[in-house]
Structure 1
Amino acid sequence: MVMMEKQTRTDRISNLPWDVLDAILVHLPLKDAARTSILSSKWRYKWISLSQFVFDDKCFSNTLLNKVDRWGEIMKIIHRVQKNHSGPIEKFKLAAYCCPNHLDLDQWMHFLAEKGIKEFVLKEFYFIRRFKLPCCLFSCQQLRHLELYGCTFKLPPEFKGFKCLASLQLRQVCVDSDTLESLILQCPVLERLILLKIDGLTCLKIHNPNLKYLKIYTEFGNIYLENNPLLSSIDIHPTSVNLEMNMFCSLEEWKACNLFRVLGCLSGVKRFSLSGHFLEFIGTSNVPERLPERFNRLMALELREVSFKSLNEVMVFLAILQSSPNLEELSISHRDLEVGSYDIPIVEFLKSRYLLGSLNHLQVVRIRGIMVSRPEWELIKLILASSPALKTMTIVKYRGSRIPESVFLQVERASENAKIISLTL
């Protein structure tokens, strides 16, 4: 009995190696990790030496809503860490809805730069005030993941690149086109690049031999995507394309086909997600029937907020379809949510197309938010008549009653097994 009581009292957890304890504690919310300090004298300072610090809404009580007070609570923790931390800090994430003091943030970044930071994340603050990112962050050669929000930066002259950086996300950041191009080029193992609402981009040039995923939700004047041999997934949804911002493009370039210039170098892409605004941009002139370099690896195509009142958008859309012989999934959403007039040339253009041979592998089609205008109906008929492998077509009407099944029975179909699902929002 005495031996059993002695074994029961043995504190095996406290005697675990620090790397094991650290691996346990970093999976707890920071508030809960800090509470372990009351367990015993051995645990009083363990949480301060964690390798990861994530400040999010879980760090605060539900009653602490003031954004300035929230930052004050964060700084209490940061001051204790700066005073007592030993060992490396691999991850820092600020994702709390707070109002940070940028001088405090600067000092904390200098501290992290000396700790071998590998993952640095700034998420959305209470408000945007472009603070100047300290140069010390660009000396962090071990960085693998970087997310920045609400700041502005220039690359320091001594910047040698991020040799380990695999993922970069910039959101509501102010950076000029040349700085961004240089940053991307100096990340040799970069695989994921996400650009959201960037200020000041006249010309977006993205060249990286290792890049595999690209997402762009921002305004720009022009775009160049050459020399990205591994790029397999692209999501481009510009808020608008401001041609007046572009100072790099010559008149000869604009006379040439933007579709060739922008997409012609991306024949290895497996997934495209493009917006109607982007289709309008790459269809500014001389839209061909198909591209000379086919998208032979393209399996999924998503077109969002397409206007069936724009002949340019419809022409580019069909040119991509006719250049994608192995396409299996097609998704389209409509941005014209009001009934209105349409151009007869668009209807005649769709009626004159014949896509059989281009859509032999298409199996799944989703069309969302339509008003069943003539152009939309001609497109539906064209896809049904050109897709011998089609399994399902889901059509979601924006308002009113759904399209009766009897209407589809009158349409020619290349696939006898195609199931048409008609819904309404």
Structure 2
Amino acid sequence: MKKTKRQAFGVGAAGAGAGGVDFISNLPGDVMSSILGLVPLRDAVRTSILSKEWRYKWVSISDVVLNRDCLLKKSSSSYTYSYSSSDDEIASAYVLDRVVQQLIGPISKFSCVFFSALVSHHFDLWIGFLSKNHGNVIKEFVMANERKIDWYNVPHSIFDYRELCHLELLNCTLKVPRTFKGFRNLSVLNLAAKFSKDDIECLISECPLLEWMKLIAFAYYQCLNIHAPNLRYLELDGEFVHLSIEEEACPQQLTDVCLTSDVFPRFWHGRVNVPPTSLMPFIGCLHGIKSLKLNEFYTQYLCIGIVPKKLPVTLGHLQYLEVELEFNSKEILAILCILRSSPNLKQLKIKAVEIIGIAMLSDLKFIRCILSNSPVLETMNVYTNRNVGAEKVLTILEELLRSQPASTQAEITYLGHYEESEWDYKNPDPRVSST
């Protein structure tokens, strides 16, 4: 016999205990809210048709996630979801208006992804509704605009969520109001947005408990001054002429830093009429750094001006260093400066941009220099250019065998020709390797 919807959800006879009591329908409200929060919002709302008792149980869910599975049409030929037209997207947004406005919560998490700026008016309504009715309880807020070409202007009412612990805004334009009094509990900040220097510095400085921050900037900045005394993880993707951390607020617990850019320093002067400055002073402030990742463009920022032999401070906690560089260039001096200042380095990962992999004698000299100056090095993985022939690979391996590492525990492993996927700066792993 075919199961009814009531039986499928364990309601009625299927959910009754020995005494004929519907144990699922009679669960405590907070337990029911947690259970419904584990299923897609579409399915949670559908429980309203089970019985009169279930009609409004879904309105108390605390975690609200609006994504592509929420109201989109499922393709008959695949398991993917898509809008057949912009009209469908707008129609779905109107349905969500009614859904959101019925939520009584308390809502602790609100996430809206996949939608485009076509429905930005509805975004405003949802953010305003949450600010008015749940602003004092929301702890996690995620808003992701699908298309970069249609930037969503985040309304000021989002700054009324005073209890936020986690904030993500993607493909948005952000302006901080003068009345902003800070997110005193915010620990995670993820922004891929357009913002002014003053706005982002104000936002960061008004989040005293901030521990994890990722900024993808879509503009050019002469300077970014970071004031975040509890910061542990920092990832910056953008064009900053000068980076600094306030000396009195330099966090000892900042252990992971990843810096990426797509503009060479030499192009800066023509864009902002301000010469770029060296990144060395910024690196020198990272006293507790354990993992440092720099792409090709930020590696060049290390070479501006005079490159010192060593940093004025010792990076005694640095264990993992990942860089892109050009061999036979000044960048090698900058990397050697960091290496000489990092006596406890355990892993070094290098991508040669111009001379890919190990292919020249100068590359081997550089590797031998690393080995002789890294007393606690444990692992070195060596890749070669895919154009390097078998005879040259043999020569390279013979040269490596003749090297005399400063570390008695160093293991040098040849891993053949590398693939480009080995180098992924857009998805850094904040965990420090323990090998």
Confirm or deny a common fold (TM above 0.5): yes
Deviations 1:46-87 (A, max 9, x none): 223321211222323432522635533542442223442223
Shift of the 34–316 alpha-carbon distance from structure 1 to 2, 3 Å rule, reads same
Cα–Cα, structure 1 residues 320 and 413, in superposed 2: closer, same or farther, change >3 Å? closer
- Which of 315, 320, 333 does residue 333 from structure 2 map onto? 315
Q: Cα offset for 1:336?
A: 1.5
TM-score (norm 2): 0.80
Offset from partner CA, 1:340-397 (integer Å, 9 cap, x none): xxxxxxxxxxxxxxxxxxxxxxxxxxxxx41412332211222334445544432122
Alignment of 1:128-147 (within 5 A): 128-147=149-168
Match of 1:174, as an amino acid? K
Give the equivalent residue in structure 2 for 1:55: 66
- 1:53–1:137 CA distance, 2 compared to 1 (3 A): same
CA distance in structure 2 between the aligned counterparts of 1:68 and 1:118, rounded to whole angstroms: 32
364, 370, 378: which one aligns with 1:377: 364
User: Quick check: 1:92–1:119 contact (8 Å CA) kept in 2?
Assistant: yes
**Matched ranges for 1:7-406 at <5 A:** 7=18, 9-59=20-70, 60-63=72-75, 64-66=81-83, 68-69=86-87, 71-72=89-90, 74-96=92-114, 98=116, 100-114=118-132, 115-116=134-135, 117-171=138-192, 173-226=193-246, 227-229=249-251, 230-240=253-263, 241=265, 243-244=268-269, 254=277, 258-303=278-323, 305-311=324-330, 313-336=331-354, 369-387=356-374, 389-400=376-387, 401=389, 403-404=393-394, 405-406=397-398
Provide the C-alpha distance between the structure 1 equivalents of 2:417 and 2:17, rounded to a whole number of angstroms: 69
Contact kept? 2:339, 2:370, Cα under 8 Å: no
TM-score (norm: length of structure 1) = 0.82
Deviations 1:33-52 (A, max 9, x none): 22322322222222233212
Select between 129-138 and 388-397 the one with higher mean Cα deviation. Answer: 388-397
Q: Percent identical across equivalent pairs?
A: 34
Q: Deviations over 1:5-49 (max 9, x none)?
A: 873742111111111111111111222222322322222222233
Any stretches of 5+ residues in structure 2 without a counterpart? 1-12, 76-80, 419-435
- Which residue is equivalent to 1:422? 415
C-alpha distance in 1 between matches for 2:69 and 2:19: 33
3-state DSSP of counterpart to 2:370: helix
* Distance in 2 (alpha carbons) for counterparts of 1:409 and 1:207: 47
Q: Distance in 2 between matches of 1:259 and 1:22?
A: 50
Of the structure 1 ranges 102-111 and 227-236, higher mean CA displacement relative to structure 2 is found in: 227-236
Q: Counterpart in 2 of 1:345? A: none
Distance 1:379 1:281 in 2: 20
Give the paired residue count: 383
The amino acid that maps onto 1:110 is G
Give the 3-state SS of the residue equivalent to 2:74 in structure 1. coil
SS of 1:409's equivalent in the other structure is helix
**Equivalent residue for 2:423?**
none
Please say if residues 70 and 98 of structure 1, whose CA atoms lie closer than 8 Å, have aligned partners that are also in contact.
Answer: no
Alpha carbons of 1:411 and 1:106: their partners in 2 closer, same or farther (altered >3 Å)?
same
CA-to-aligned-CA distance 1:230-267 (integer Å, 9 cap, x gap)? 322111112224533557x7x8x95xxx3542222212
Give the Cα–Cα distance (whole angstroms) in 2 for the partners of residues 388 and 83 of structure 1.
Answer: 62
Letter aligned with residue 239 of structure 1: D
Looking at structure 1, the residues matched to 52 and 42 of structure 2 have their Cα atoms a distance apart, in angstroms, of 18
- Following TM superposition, by how much is the alpha carbon of 1:127 offset from its aligned partner in structure 2, in angstroms? 4.2
Aligned-partner SS, 1:383: helix
Q: 1:326 to 1:414 in 2, by over 3 A?
A: closer
* 8 Å CA contact retained: 2:93, 2:119: no
Report the alpha carbon displacement of residue 151 of structure 1 after superposing the two structures with TM.
2.1
Q: Give distance in 2, aligned partners of 1:334 and 1:197.
A: 26
1:398 Cα deviation (Å)? 3.0
Aligned to 2:424: none
Change in Cα spacing, 1:25 to 1:378, as seen in structure 2 (3 Å) is same
Residue matched to 1:361: none
SS in 2 for 1:219: strand
**Cα distance 1:398–1:44, how it changes in 2: closer, same or farther (>3 A)?**
farther
SS of 1:42's equivalent? coil
Q: Does the aligned pair in 2 maintain the 1:166–1:191 contact within 8 Å?
A: yes
AA of the residue aligned to 1:420: T
Per-residue deviation, 1:415: 5.3
**SS of match in other structure, 2:46:** helix
Give 1:408's aligned residue.
400
Deviation at 1:309, TM superposition (A): 3.9
Work out whether residues 36 and 47 of structure 1, in 8 Å CA contact, stay in contact via their aligned partners in 2. Answer: yes
Q: CA RMSD, aligned part only?
A: 2.7
User: Do the aligned partners of 2:368 and 2:403 also contact (CA within 8 Å) in 1?
Assistant: yes
CA shift digits 1:272-296 (9 cap, x unpaired): 1122311211320111100111101
* Structure 1 CA distance for aligned equivalents of residues 285 and 374 of structure 2: 27
- Segments of 5+ residues of structure 1 without an aligned counterpart are 338-368
Provide the secondary structure at the position in 2 that maps to 1:208: coil
